[in-house]
Amino acid sequence: MASALAGCASAPPQQELLLAGAALDGAVSAGAAEMAPAELLLARNKFESAKVAAAKGDNDRARALAEEAEVDALLARNKAGAERSRRANAEVQQGLKALQEQGIKP
């Protein structure tokens, strides 16, 4: 029975760690450090915890943390994108208002 259970041990979460790392890189590239710092920090912390768990051989926990880190990083990236869009829209609206004040119709 013990040998049967040993065969069920989970494999190291290499794929999950790679995906989480890539998602973190994408979030940073999208400006999450400025526009979604809390979400980015949460993702980084979970990613680091996942690496520690993997190093200790706690593969199930490492996998779960890596998956959570990936989701949090994607959230940070998307939140940063939404904030960029909001800021761009505000600039356009401000420009339109300035044109209207000058009597110029867009």
Asked whether residue 100 is domain-assigned, the answer is no
Residue 76 covered by a domain: yes
Q: Is residue 2 part of a domain?
A: no
Residue 37 in any domain: the answer is: yes
* 98 part of a folded domain: no
3 within domain boundaries: no
Whether the pLDDT of residue 5 is over 50: the answer is no
Total number of domains in the chain: 1
In a domain, 99, yes or no: no
Please report, as a single letter, which amino acid is at residue 27.
Answer: A
Residue 21: inside a domain: yes
For residue range 14-31, list pLDDT tens digits in order.
999 999 999 999 999 999
d(CA 84, CA 65): 28
Question: Which domain, by its residues, includes 30?
Answer: 11-80
pTM: 0.81
Greater confidence, 9 or 97?
97
Reported as a single tens digit per residue, the pLDDT across 48-106 is: 999 999 999 999 999 999 999 999 999 999 999 999 999 999 999 999 998 888 887 76
26 φ/ψ angles, rounded to the nearest 5 degrees: -65, -40
DSSP letter, residue 3: H
